[in-house]
Structure 1
Amino acid sequence: MTFEDNRRVFAIMKRAFLPPAEALLAFESAARHASFTRAAEELHLTQGAVSKQVRQLEERLGVELFRRVRQRIVLTDAGRLYLHEVRGALAQISDATRQVMSFAGSADVLNLAVLPTFGTRWLAPRLAEFLRRYPSAGLNLSVRLRPFDFDAEPFDGAIHHGDPVWAGAIAEPLFPEDSIVVASRAFRDRHSIRAPADLLRVPRLQLATRPLAWRQWFEAAGVDTEAAYQGQRFDQFGMIAEAAAHHLGAALMPRLFVEEELAAGKLVRLFDTSLTGRSAYHFVYPERRTLRPVVATFRAWLLEEARAARIGRETMLPG
């Protein structure tokens, strides 16, 4: 067989194992509602049409997807397995469709993976300036907590915290993480916090992924303690900032994430001692991919903003 013949056979085989989309939608809806009638209402079809599509799908697959029990339908073991895979495939198609639709009205679209607190508290308030410089740009921001494969994900770049190590990518440093202890003014006054050791007797808010942070801060402040690990735990800095602003405890926070609260007086810095981590924030992008104009412009703008933020923190007086 020629290469063209092989390609034609492969295409035919793919179609043979690909059921009609309307049958998959009918199956997923019926499984979710455990009812052909409610699935029909959702899909704007008759109950008979949904039942027929599911029956034809079962005939095509050669397995029973539902057991009909009186007026109810119950997934079989094969149906549960198939539902899991079908839902994942439909979700991927939906996500891909939304991404493509986002290109409408924009000459260029930037797909960026961000860390949640960095995205909401540092990046988002500054994006208006980037869009002013690049008015034709579109933005798609998604949360990613860990490094990923740029060949497998539809991202042009990512914000990364940690060491400048990312397989197949270039990591450009933005700034280190400078953490300070903050609390609401009311919390500070109520607990008469005047010296670092006073923090040992008050609630301290902990980030679950930074279990050593408070201990390192106490060591930097000259306080010897075995109680540094005690306190309520949260999985995001944004939640800790809100909890501290509402008098729940003292927080050890990266300064860049509480700038707004400090300026507004919702939080106050308790002591001059800060904790500068060895790791930093980086802008990461694929090393084998030529940067599109929107990505190159964003990179230049981001590095400029990061430099301004570094200079601002270096000249900022403690408080």
Structure 2
Amino acid sequence: MRRKLPSLQALNCFEAAARHQSFTRAAQELNLTQGAVSRQVAALEAFLGVALFRRTQHGMVLTPAGADYARHVRQRLDALERDAMDVMGRSGPADTLTLGTVPTFATRWLIPRLPQLAARHPELLVHLETRTRPFLFTDTGIDAAIWAGTPQQLQQWAGTRATHLLDEDVLPVCSPRLLPAGEPVTPQTLAALPLLQQSTRPEAWRQWFDAQGVDAPRAMAGPRYELFSMQTAAAIAGLGVALMPTLLVQDELASGALVVACPRPLRAQRAYYLVQPQGDERPALALLRDWLLEACAQVRAP
């Protein structure tokens, strides 16, 4: 059957106009005239039989249908652009995977090991995108994700299956100048120090103090950071104590930029998983999974 699709030019003009809420600014971005953009959007509205914009005295605004359609069109155009870039970037019979990953794990653990993967499978290209929370694979074009969480959280990620990679131990660390005597402190003393919070793990400090049997009324107080790399920088700057996965701060502990604030790790509350959509698995993804399992086994080995 012949597909019932609007023209790509019309979609591109509509997406730009919806993003800018202006035909004039969309025309400037696309190097077209304002009239050309207006005609493309009008043709799209005629094709759909739905008004996408509502004209007002002060310009134009998206209709509810237009706002919803703009969101979907933007996702599809982004996916088409990624697909085109993938094909353009191939040299020879390469296979491409897009991997979503938590950013600090990617920069501190994954990327330094990717040369090993490239040496073993030179035909495999791996693109990385930042993902800190669960998402719908069908909306992103991402093939798999490395994600950190609890088994209970993993069960709530619908339509996926997961492979366990590494358990995660977390440990309080800080700048050495933040400790009163330059030595590790007790959990009770730590409770009075400024605590750096992880926005994706709002109860992390409370769980740590509960495991130590310490009452800490300010366990959830303190500045919040979305990325562990931000928390690391804040801890080095002396802004507070960070509760960090030990595998992400090995270099800072070795150099002395950070020290252990309290030698009481909280073990294996979370783990890193390779998460992928249910269904048939691409051979390239199987190669990546097998390599990840081998690399993680080397980390766990004594």
Superposition TM-score tier, normalisation by shorter sequence: 0.7 to 0.9
Mapping for residues 1-20 of structure 1, pairs under 5 Å: 8=1, 11=2, 15=4, 18-20=5-7
Work out which of the residue numbers 60, 75, 87 in structure 2 matches 1:75. 60
Answer yes or no: is 1:250 the counterpart of 2:235: no
Q: Distance in 2 between matches of 1:64 and 1:219?
A: 53
The amino acid across from 1:250 in the alignment is: V
The amino acid across from 2:30 in the alignment is: L
Which deviations, in whole Å up to 9, do the C-alpha atoms of 1:59-87 show, x marking residues without a partner? 55475835375xx7x21563x64254135
Q: Distance in 2 between matches of 1:64 and 1:110?
A: 35
Query: What is the match of residue 5 of structure 1?
Result: none
Q: Distance in 1 between matches of 2:140 and 2:51?
A: 34
- Aligned length in residues: 294
Query: What is the match of residue 275 of structure 2?
Result: 284
Aligned-pair CA distance for 1:136 = 2.0
Answer yes or no: is 1:199 the counterpart of 2:186: no
Answer yes or no: is 1:183 the counterpart of 2:162: no
Q: Distance in 2 between matches of 1:112 and 1:231?
A: 32
| CA pair 247-58 structure 1, distance change in 2 beyond 3 A | same
| CA pair 259-58 structure 1, distance change in 2 beyond 3 A | same
Query: What is the match of residue 292 of structure 2?
Result: 302
Which deviations, in whole Å up to 9, do the C-alpha atoms of 1:202-234 show, x marking residues without a partner? 211122343443344335445444443333333
Q: Which 5+ residue runs of structure 2 have no aligned equivalent?
A: none
| CA pair 189-109 structure 1, distance change in 2 beyond 3 A | same
1:109 aligns to what SS in structure 2?
strand
| CA pair 246-57 structure 1, distance change in 2 beyond 3 A | same
1:272 aligns to what SS in structure 2?
coil
Aligned-pair CA distance for 1:145 = 3.8
Q: Say which is worse superposed, 174-183 or 46-55, in terms of deviation.
A: 46-55
Answer yes or no: is 1:98 the counterpart of 2:82: yes
Q: Which 5+ residue runs of structure 1 have no aligned equivalent?
A: 1-7, 313-319
Which deviations, in whole Å up to 9, do the C-alpha atoms of 1:4-50 show, x marking residues without a partner? xxxx5xx4xx63xx443333433444455555444433333334433
Answer yes or no: is 1:275 the counterpart of 2:262: no
TM-score (norm 1): 0.76
CA contact 1:202–1:249 (8 Å) conserved in 2? yes
Aligned-pair CA distance for 1:134 = 1.5
Aligned-pair CA distance for 1:306 = 1.2
CA contact 2:194–2:241 (8 Å) conserved in 1? yes
Answer yes or no: is 1:311 the counterpart of 2:301: yes
CA contact 1:191–1:202 (8 Å) conserved in 2? no
Aligned-pair CA distance for 1:128 = 2.1
Answer yes or no: is 1:44 the counterpart of 2:34: no
CA contact 1:180–1:275 (8 Å) conserved in 2? yes
> What's the C-alpha RMSD, in Å, of the aligned pairs?
3.3
CA contact 2:51–2:65 (8 Å) conserved in 1? no
2:179 aligns to what SS in structure 1?
helix
| CA pair 141-197 structure 1, distance change in 2 beyond 3 A | same
CA contact 2:21–2:62 (8 Å) conserved in 1? no
The amino acid across from 1:277 in the alignment is: A
| CA pair 159-58 structure 1, distance change in 2 beyond 3 A | closer
| CA pair 284-40 structure 1, distance change in 2 beyond 3 A | closer
| CA pair 254-62 structure 1, distance change in 2 beyond 3 A | closer
Q: Distance in 1 between matches of 2:20 and 2:218?
A: 51
Aligned-pair CA distance for 1:248 = 0.4
Work out which of the residue numbers 232, 235, 244 in structure 2 matches 1:241. 232
| CA pair 99-186 structure 1, distance change in 2 beyond 3 A | farther
Aligned-pair CA distance for 1:178 = 0.7
Q: Distance in 2 between matches of 1:63 and 1:286?
A: 36
The amino acid across from 2:290 in the alignment is: A
1:273 aligns to what SS in structure 2?
coil
Mapping for residues 102-251 of structure 1, pairs under 5 Å: 102-103=86-87, 104-105=90-91, 107-147=94-134, 154-160=141-147, 161-163=149-151, 165=155, 169-189=160-180, 194-221=185-212, 223-251=214-242
TM-score (norm 2): 0.80
| CA pair 143-133 structure 1, distance change in 2 beyond 3 A | same
Aligned-pair CA distance for 1:122 = 2.0
The amino acid across from 2:102 in the alignment is: L
Query: What is the match of residue 317 of structure 1?
Result: none
CA contact 2:170–2:243 (8 Å) conserved in 1? yes
**Identity %, equivalent residues:** 40
Which of 1 and 2 has greater Rg? 1
